[in-house]
Chain A
Amino acid sequence: MRKAKDANAIYWDLGLCVFTVLVALIVQAAPTRLLDGVNIMPTWPLIAIFLWAGLRPSFMPPIVVFAIGLTQDLLTGAPMGVWAMSYLIALAAFRFRGEDGMPRDLPPVLLRFLFMLLLAHTVAYLVGSWALGQMADLMPLIVEATATILMFPLLAFLALRRRRSGRSGFIGG
């Protein structure tokens, strides 16, 4: 009985993971400048990758991270491989090791995400600049990183709360 409930939980989480990643990618490419010329957009796909890699490490293997990055490249018109590479490197460097995923306290999660964000944007900036043949525009990256840092704590709090509410206390409930 318990096993059946666990299996159901996994399928629900898988569906939620796919849904949130797709929404993150679409919102990232959405024409938000329509709203009075303001365009402040967090790096939603990176947030989705980080949180799901922490909640369900098995949902975020390298191939999925690569696919997310490549999709973002194609949607935003960036050279293919730029965001794919940056997400792969950032996740490999700062992911939570093992099956347990991320801890239950917020501060270490925030700190690790901050490092991951900085690494991802640095790699994207360098690789993108090389692909363009000249230095890319740094300001949108700074704005994007700032918006991401401001937005992430709320989502991380919700993710950790969901995790704490799990019955067994371990990843997957």
Chain B
Amino acid sequence: MASRRSSRQESDESAGFSPTLFIVLLVISTVLTIFDRPADRSDAFGSFRAGFTDIVAPILELAAQPIRGVKGIGPYFRNQGDLARENAEMREELIAARGWVELAERQRDQIEIYEAALNVETPEQRPLIRAWTVADSSGPFVHARLIGSGRNVGIANGYPVVNDYGLVGRIFETGRRSARILLLTDINSRIPVMADRSNARAIMVGDNSDYPRLDYVGRIPDIVEGDRIVTSGDDGVLPRGLPIGEAVPTRDGGWRIQLFSSQAPVDFVYVWPFDRIVGPEADVAKVPDMPVENSAAEPESDPVSDSVSDSGLVADVGAETAGDASGDVPLEARPIGSGENARTDGETTTVPEDGE
């Protein structure tokens, strides 16, 4: 028996499979898994991951080129009738869009008047950053996309990412030349949302399915089938009014969202360099010499900002939220069909912890 085991070991060694090395590497793998858990990943591990993707991003970009080429071939083989119908539909949409452009311009003028009256300085809207997807990891553990642009073009953690139809996700890992998008469908995704029609608040929770579910909607939510769901901006990280999808009821009485962004492959996206808009009260509170009543009662930090981790994830979304802390977004900054019904009444609604 002993001699058999010995000969087997020798055979393994001669084939290059060292049992000792195998055990050592198994231990290293275990240690890496423990310390690289998404919930408590350290900055060092995050930096290492970002550095690695920086190195491989150009290679992945090169590899993605033929796939994009194949995709571009598709329309040439499509039925001419389909193309003609699509063309006619787009013409109609273009005519309808002209009306919305006029409305947007009027509302922009109104907002400028309000801002002047309230003495609010809206940060200058930076242009959207366009990026190609270079890697698609839709495996069992993470729903994310890698894009071939990073800090070199001004991308930072937490920035929302949209495609032509709606919100796709947000940046959660930024390297110098690459960044990773956490998709709305990922199990770690939590986005404060509202129904565009009723302003009913909820939290959209990804569960790796194609239809993220709505949590904290209350016992009798003011949501109906087909309601347009948009970001509420309550977290202070995402702007208010970004289109997400349509409400779909489930058999168990809950709600899920059919994402607008899934109407097209997430191959080309826009990263929105969104800076939180500071309200006039916050501006006053920051001035040291100005007498402010009840200034001692002001919280030292914003509970919403505190609930958002460095990775841009909302850690405790059920806790107190701060209403429209982010303010509304100028319509001119919206690249997609957002906000046509968005309310701009500044109503503040909090999502109670018990979801009612």
**In the assembled complex, B100 has its CB within 8 A of some CB on chain A:** no
Tell me the smallest distance from the CB of A89 to a CB of chain B, in Å.
7
**A39: chain B residues within 8 A (beta carbon):** 136, 138
Contacting A84 at CB < 8 Å: which of B29, B37, B70, B145?
A: B29
Q: Is the CB of B135 within 8 A of A31?
A: yes
Given contacts A57-B16, A85-B29, A99-B11, contact A35 B67 (CB under 8 A): yes
Given contacts A81-B32, A141-B140, contact A131 B63 (CB under 8 A): no
Q: How many pairs, one residue from A and one from B, have CB atoms within 8 Å of each other in the complex?
A: 184
Tell me the smallest distance from the CB of A171 to a CB of chain B, in Å.
10
- Most B CB within 10 A of own CB, among A60, A66, A101, A139: A66
Question: CA of A140 to CA of B37 in the docked complex: distance in angstroms?
Answer: 20
Question: CA of A98 to CA of B64 in the docked complex: distance in angstroms?
Answer: 39
- From residue 126 to 173 of chain A, which have CB atoms closer than 8 A to chain B? 127-128, 130-134, 136-141, 144
How many chain B residues sit at the interface, stated as a range, is 35 or more
- Most A CB within 10 A of own CB, among B15, B145, B267: B15
Question: CA of A88 to CA of B19 in the docked complex: distance in angstroms?
Answer: 11
**In the assembled complex, B97 has its CB within 8 A of some CB on chain A:** no
**In the assembled complex, B187 has its CB within 8 A of some CB on chain A:** yes
**In the assembled complex, A50 has its CB within 8 A of some CB on chain B:** no
Query: Could you tell me the dominant secondary structure of chain A's interface residues?
Result: helix
Question: CA of A97 to CA of B36 in the docked complex: distance in angstroms?
Answer: 33
Given contacts A33-B136, A35-B71, A81-B33, contact A62 B25 (CB under 8 A): yes
Contacting B133 at CB < 8 Å: which of A31, A59, A77, A128?
A: A31
**B70: chain A residues within 8 A (beta carbon):** 34-35
Question: CA of A38 to CA of B138 in the docked complex: distance in angstroms?
Answer: 11
Tell me the smallest distance from the CB of A22 to a CB of chain B, in Å.
9
Q: Is the CB of B25 within 8 A of A88?
A: yes
**A97: chain B residues within 8 A (beta carbon):** 8, 11-12, 15
- Which chain B residue lies CB-closest to A66? B25
- From residue 6 to 53 of chain B, which have CB atoms closer than 8 A to chain A? 8, 11-12, 14-18, 21-22, 25-26, 28-33, 36-39, 45, 49, 52-53
Question: CA of A167 to CA of B154 in the docked complex: distance in angstroms?
Answer: 58
Q: Is the CB of B26 within 8 A of A85?
A: yes
**A8: chain B residues within 8 A (beta carbon):** none
Q: List 18 A-B contacts (CB under 8 A).
A: A26-B60, A29-B137, A34-B71, A62-B17, A74-B49, A75-B60, A79-B37, A85-B33, A88-B22, A88-B25, A89-B26, A97-B15, A98-B15, A130-B33, A131-B141, A132-B188, A137-B209, A141-B140
Q: Is the CB of B140 within 8 A of A58?
A: no
**In the assembled complex, B139 has its CB within 8 A of some CB on chain A:** yes
Q: Is the CB of A63 within 8 A of B25?
A: yes
**In the assembled complex, B142 has its CB within 8 A of some CB on chain A:** yes
**In the assembled complex, B59 has its CB within 8 A of some CB on chain A:** yes
Q: Is the CB of B136 within 8 A of A30?
A: yes
Q: Is the CB of B138 within 8 A of A140?
A: yes
Contacting B135 at CB < 8 Å: which of A29, A37, A140?
A: A29
Interface string of A68-79 (1 = CB under 8 A from B): 011000111111
**B138: chain A residues within 8 A (beta carbon):** 33, 39, 140
Tell me the smallest distance from the CB of A5 to a CB of chain B, in Å.
22
Q: Is the CB of B30 within 8 A of A85?
A: yes
Task: Identify the 8 closest CB pairs spanning chains A and B, nearest first.
Answer: A81-B32, A81-B33, A76-B137, A137-B208, A31-B136, A85-B29, A57-B15, A81-B29
Question: CA of A34 to CA of B135 in the docked complex: distance in angstroms?
Answer: 11
Question: CA of A173 to CA of B112 in the docked complex: distance in angstroms?
Answer: 78
Tell me the smallest distance from the CB of B94 to a CB of chain A, in Å.
26
**In the assembled complex, B134 has its CB within 8 A of some CB on chain A:** yes
Interface string of B107-139 (1 = CB under 8 A from A): 000000000000000000000000001111111
Q: Is the CB of B17 within 8 A of A79?
A: no
**In the assembled complex, B266 has its CB within 8 A of some CB on chain A:** yes
Q: Is the CB of A78 within 8 A of B15?
A: no
Tell me the smallest distance from the CB of A93 to a CB of chain B, in Å.
11
Question: CA of A76 to CA of B266 in the docked complex: distance in angstroms?
Answer: 16
Interface string of A32-47 (1 = CB under 8 A from B): 1111110100000000
- Which chain A residue lies CB-closest to B15? A57
Q: Is the CB of A79 within 8 A of B139?
A: no
Q: Is the CB of A80 within 8 A of B32?
A: yes
Given contacts A26-B59, A80-B32, contact A137 B11 (CB under 8 A): no
**A35: chain B residues within 8 A (beta carbon):** 67, 70-71, 265
Q: Is the CB of A98 within 8 A of B67?
A: no
**A114: chain B residues within 8 A (beta carbon):** none
Question: CA of A115 to CA of B67 in the docked complex: distance in angstroms?
Answer: 32
- Most B CB within 10 A of own CB, among A36, A75, A134: A75
**In the assembled complex, B224 has its CB within 8 A of some CB on chain A:** no
**A34: chain B residues within 8 A (beta carbon):** 64, 67-68, 70-71, 133, 136, 265, 267
